[in-house]
Structure 1
Amino acid sequence: MKRFYMGLVVAFGVYALTLIVYFLKGDLFHIPYALIGTIADPHTFMTTQEITKAESLSRIRSLAYFLSTPLQLGVLLALLGVAVRFRRVAEKLFRASFLQMVAFVLLFTLLMDVLLLPIDYFLFKIDQAYGLSTETLALFWSDHGKDFLINVLGTTVIVWIFRGVLKWSPNRWWLWFWLVSIPLILFVTFIQPVVLDPLYHDFQPLQNQELKAQILQLAAQSHIPADQVYEVNMSERTHTINAYVNGIGGNARIVLWDTILKKLQPDEILTVMAHEMGHYAERHIYLGIAYGILLSFIGFWLAFHAYRLFIRRWGSIWGIRGENDLAALPILLLIVTIMSFASAPAQNAFSRVIEHRADAYAMKMTGDGSAAIRAFQHIAKENLSPVTQPKLVQWFRGSHPTILERILYFEQFDKR
């Protein structure tokens, strides 16, 4: 085992060094020569200092993303022996299997949270250093505490269902668990706007009545069942700008960050809101859920076989009793983490398609490509976002087309 772990450390070192050279030294953000000096060239709407900061921040975030996943995998592997000890502690504390499960989930989640906290704190300090974050340390800890409690509650429910299904159908648990996951996803999507989001943010009705009327008119044309527009106090956390429409059915909510209200003109805001409404009008939320369900069907089947193989071949090395052992749950988490990372390009490719369709919908609704161009120039400037990204980053992190691609699309729309 020592040689195995030493091999992992060496492999991670080589991987990390390669990424550091690529992200910190590579020429990653150049734009085509033909676009220099055009409206898609960041030098026409951002200062040299802003461009430098945006590119530097993107390099750091991308490096953190590509390093954090293997770090998490390494931590999970290293903690398999600890998980066995936690299971023994839970069995000594409680006789009831449900209480043992709750104790184990709490202990293991707490340990993982503590070990991975430095990454979250590092990114928090980076955003502060680059002038994007206005979040206080007290607010950071408050949000982190809420995240932890929700994570423990959600993990407990999922583990409880998983163990029940595994016990009932040991050879088909992946199929039944997949079926159970569908209503759970729909339930969380439904309650998010009215239960989860208010735990973190203060929502108030939009004060600008003229803008509210214009947005609701767009909503009516998009058949969105909403009679209210909300603004959320994000300036206490960030200088960046954003807006969204989330929820399903009657729980749909139209939300603007207060930062976007301060930094964009009304016509620019309307193009952004038309884009967000396009997701609802074209049922992108449901398409996204359906696509996720399809991927998860394949994922659960693969996880079932990988989980069984891992436990049968190597479980005894760590003292794992079998598939229903609480101490085996980190193995399942490890497998899910690997598959989530591996499936990121497919998920992002799908996301980019529906984001482009939402851009097209916004142009159909407003017909104002000029306002959309100005809006995304402001987004690049205020959010410190490079207008283009290297292919590797776009595959794994690019849930939207690049800002350069979007500006060019809006320009072509105006020309047509």
Structure 2
Amino acid sequence: MKRLYILLVVIFGVYAVLMSVYLLHGNLFAIPKELIGTDVDPHLFMTVDEITKAEALSRIHSLAFFLTSPLQIGLILLLLGVSVKFRLLAERLLKRPFWQMIVFVLLFSMLLDILFLPVDYYLFRVDRSYGISNETIGMFWSDQAKDFAVNSIGTIVLVWMFRWLLKLSPGRWWLWFWLASIPLILFITFIQPVVLDPLYNDFYPLQNQELKKQILSLAAQSHIPADQVYEVNMSERTNAINAYVNGIGGNARIVLWDTILQKLQSKEILTVMAHEMGHYVEGHIYWGILYGVVLSFFGFWLAFHAYRTFVRRWGPLWGIRGETDLAALPALLLIVTVMNFASAPAQNAFSRVIEHRADVYSMKLTGDGNSAIHAFQKIAKENLSPVTQPKLVQWFRGSHPTILERIEYFKQFSQ
């Protein structure tokens, strides 16, 4: 076992060095020579300092992503022995399996959060030092506490469901769990806009009545059943700009960050909102749910076989009693983490397709390519976003087309 741990540390060390060399050195953000001096050239709408900060910030966040994901996988593997101790502690403290499960989940979740807290804090400090974040240390700790509470409740529900189905149908639990996940996904989709989002930010009706009228006019053209537009106080947290339309049916909410109201012109805002309405009109939320349901079907099936094989073959090395053992839960988390990391390119590819479709709808609705170009130039400037990304980063982290690709598309509609 000690040799395994040493091997894991060596492999991760080599991987970390290679990723650091790749991401921290070299000109990763160069645009094609033929596009220099055109609308996509950041030197035309960003200062040299802003370009330098945007590229440095992207390197740091990309390196954090590529290091923390494998690090989490390795740590979970290393903590399998600790999970056995947590299970023994829960059994000594409590007699009922349900309460033992809650104690175990809380202990293991807290341990992982503590281990990754330095990374979260470091990124918090980086974003503040680069001027992209306005969060205070109080907000940071408040968000950490809220995240832990929300995630713990969700994890406890999922673990209880998993253990119940595992005992009920040991050979088919993956199928029943998959079926049960479908209404759960829909439920979360419904409650997030009205229950979870307000836990972190304050929402109130848009104060700019003229802009509200224009946005609702676009919504009416798009057959979106909304009679109110909301702004959310994000300036206390960030200098970045964003807007979105979420929810389903009569639960739809049109939301603008107050930062976008401060930094974009009305015409520019309307092209952004038309993009967000495109997601709603084309049913991207439904396509996303369908994609997730189909992908999770194969994911649950694969996790079932991997979990069973792992526990039976290697579980005894750590003292894991079997598939129903609480101490085996981190093994399932390990498998899910590996699968999420491996499937990131496919998930992002799907996301980029629907994001481009929303851009197409924005131009169909407004036809204002000039305003869209100016909007995304300002988004690059205010969000400190490079206009392009290296292929590896785009595959694993790029949920949207690059700003370069989007501006190039909008050029077709500029005058």
**Global fold match (TM > 0.5):** yes
Q: How does 1:132-151 map to 2 (within 5 A)?
A: 132-151=132-151
Deviations 1:204-227 (A, max 9, x none): 000000000100111111111111
1:169-318 correspondence to structure 2 within 5 Å: 169-318=169-318
Secondary structure of the 2:414 match is: helix
Q: How far did residue 96 of structure 1 move? A: 1.0
State the secondary structure of the residue aligned to 1:255.
strand
Equivalent residue for 2:345? Answer: 345
AA partner of residue 363 (structure 1): M
Structure 1: gaps of 5 or more residues: none
Unaligned runs of 5+ in 2: none
Match of 2:10 in 1: 10
Residue identity in the other structure for 2:352: R
Aligned match of 2:330: 330
**Alignment of 1:36 onto 2:51:** no
User: What residue identity is the alignment partner of 2:236?
Assistant: E
Instruction: Report the equivalent of 1:321.
Output: 321
Partner of residue 93, structure 1: 93
Q: Quote how far apart the aligned CAs of 1:94 are.
A: 1.2
Quote the Cα distance in structure 2 between the aligned partners of 1:251 and 1:268.
26
Q: TM-score if structure 2 supplies the norm length?
A: 0.99
Partner of 1:158: 158
**Poorly superposed stretches of 4+, deviation over 6 Å:** none
Report if the CA contact (8 A) 2:348-2:396 is conserved.
yes
The Cα RMSD (Å) is 0.7
Counterpart position of 1:68: 68
**Deviation of 1:106 (Å):** 0.8
Question: Aligned partners of 2:368 and 2:78: how far apart in 1?
Answer: 55
SS of 1:134's partner is coil
* Equivalence for 2:369: 369
Q: Offset at 1:251?
A: 1.2
Distance 1:93 1:286 in 2: 45
- What is the CA–CA distance in structure 2 between the aligned matches of 1:9 and 1:81, rounded to whole Å? 17
Aligned equivalents of 2:42, 2:2: Cα separation in 1: 50
Matched residue count: 415
Distance 1:182 1:391 in 2: 33
User: Partner of 1:254: helix, strand, or coil?
Assistant: strand
1:48 is displaced (CA, Å) by 0.8
Distance 1:185 1:398 in 2: 23
* 2:381 corresponding residue in structure 1: 381
Deviation at 1:413, TM superposition (A): 2.6
> TM-score by structure 1 length?
0.99
Q: Percent sequence identity over matched residues?
A: 74
State the shift of 1:414 in Å. Answer: 2.7
